[in-house]
Every structure is written in C-alpha cells, then in structure tokens.
Amino acid sequence: MTESRKVKVAGLQRRLDIFLAQWCTDLTRSQLQRLIRDGHVLVDGRVAKASLALEPEQVVTLSIPPPIPSTLEPEPIPLQVVYEDSDLLVIDKPAGLIVHPAPGHPRGTLVNALLAYCPDLQGIGGEMRPGIVHRLDKDTSGLMVVAKNQAAHGSLSKQIKERQVTKGYLALCHEHLEPLEGIIDAPIGRDRGNRKRMAVVEGGRASVTHYQVKEYIDGYTLLEAHLVTGRTHQIRVHLASLRHPLVGDSTYGKRMPGLDRHFLHASTLGFKLPSTQVYKEYTSELPPDLQAILEKISLH
C-alpha cells in the first residue's frame, strides 16, 4: 500500500530536496531523490523538481509506493545471527560469501540467504540488495548489519553517511608497520592501469583509516583498523599504498600458503538501534582459518 505524507512549509525558503531530507529523516537522500525524479513529490498538487525553492504556506505531499518485490530466489544458506530485533539483524558473515547478486553470481549470496531467513526483506532498500546497508568483500569475514524495514534502513544509512557507525577490523599485514598508531588519509579511486583494482589516486574520494598496532609477530604486524570513510577495498588499498599489503591479498599483494583469502576480519560493529537510539556494539572473534595463520607465524 502506498504511504502518503503531507506537510505545510513554514519559515525560510529552502530547496525541495533539502526540505525533504530534513522532514523525512527515515529516508536516505538517494531514496528521496528517486521519489522526486519519479514524480512522487507534489508541491501544491503539482509535480516538482528537486531544485524548486519552496515558499511559506506551500503544501508538500510525498507518496511512498510499496517496495518492489525482489525477483531473487530465497536459498536456505546457514546464517550466524549475532543479534536480532524487529528492525534489524547483525550477522557474522563467513569468508567466501558474496553479499549480493552480481553478473556471474546470481545465486548463493548473502541476500539469497537473508530472503530465506526473513522473507519480509523483499524490496527493503532496493530490489537487488534487499536489507543491505553496507557490505563486506567476498573474502572479508565478520560483522554486518541488515535492515528489516524501510525506516531501519533509512536510520542505519543515515548513521553511516554521518560517520556515526563504528567499524573495527583485525588485519595482518607484511613487515612491521610504523608508527604504532596513525591515520592514513589518502584519496581512493579506480586504478588507472587496472579498472578491476582500486588505488590511492589524485582526485579520488576522500578516504581515512585509523589504525593501531596490536602486535609485531616475526615479519608481520597484527593491527586494528577503524574506518572513518567506507570506500571499496579501503583498508587493503591504504596498507598496500604504504607497502604493507594484507597477508594473503592476491590483488594488492601476494598469496600466502595455507590461506585462501586475505587476512581481514570485521571484528567490531557499533551503531544506534533505530527504534531506541541506544548505542550498541557487537564483536566477533577471529575465525579459525585466520587464527591458524597467527599460530603458524608465531611458531617461526
């Protein structure tokens, strides 16, 4: 069923898109832009553009159509659920599981598993990525939050955009990373020599990673990294740019015998619960394959 919202404009002139973002805080800017573009926003009964300057006493009507049912197939893939309520799921994603379908990978993804576990996710946040608020690389394990309704999706997306979500990772890189803690502030964009890779490039998107060394083990560094921004492959690219690539990262470094992926685990995830705005933080231990690598290099 289509949801309808109506409000009378008061105060100073504002662009329609800015007004909507301040009024409908449960929807993301991209969702609002799409609603405007598709003609679901009326000002005094007429379809309006995002750039329209609103006048006091004008009436803005927003119609939110029901989610488009996903064409993706549910699959009974096991999920490790760390926390669940009526708004969201926190899951511990295993390495090797792709988050959402893409060309060449239409099945066997986290989204297919989520649709089997929670059929009501259909259309939440988008037809092809129902419930997905952020993602992890296929070979990165660890914590992810999934929205179970549109309001939760909007709240979590807003927190991520405003950098209010804690994202902590455990990583193992080559050589001794110095100093013991620091900030890597380097823009990331497509590698101009290989479009399948990312790189630190002039004019790239602002990218900031905080790190703290936990331990030096032989010729390696075990560190904890926290993302300020959330760019594709950010930690992998930032460490590789310092010539300390992740252990096992065949894209930005080299493979490691006995490990069939890169050593990166999303160990900490914190955010405000959408319904109560109470901050909660969840943690995940290193999975067995990464723990085995630590034990192996510690014996040398």
Catalytic residues: 137
**E runs forming strands in 118-180:** 141-147, 166-174
Residue 164 CA neighbour count, 13 Å, CB half: 15
| CA 238 – CA 209 distance, rounded (Å) | 8
The CA-CA-CA angle for residues 84, 86, 89, to 5°, reads 30
The H or E element that residue 194 is part of is strand 194-200
How far CA 51 is from CA of 21, 126, 148, 226, in Å, comes to: 13, 25, 32, 36
Residue 120 CB: number of other CB atoms within 10 A? 12
What tokens appear for 199 in the block? 């790189």
The neighbouring-strand residues paired with 200 are 188
Distance CA 110, CA 96 (A): 10
If we measure between CA atoms, which residue out of 140, 157, 161, 159 comes closest to residue 149? 157
Distance CA 253, CA 225 (A): 18
- Give 100's DSSP letter: S
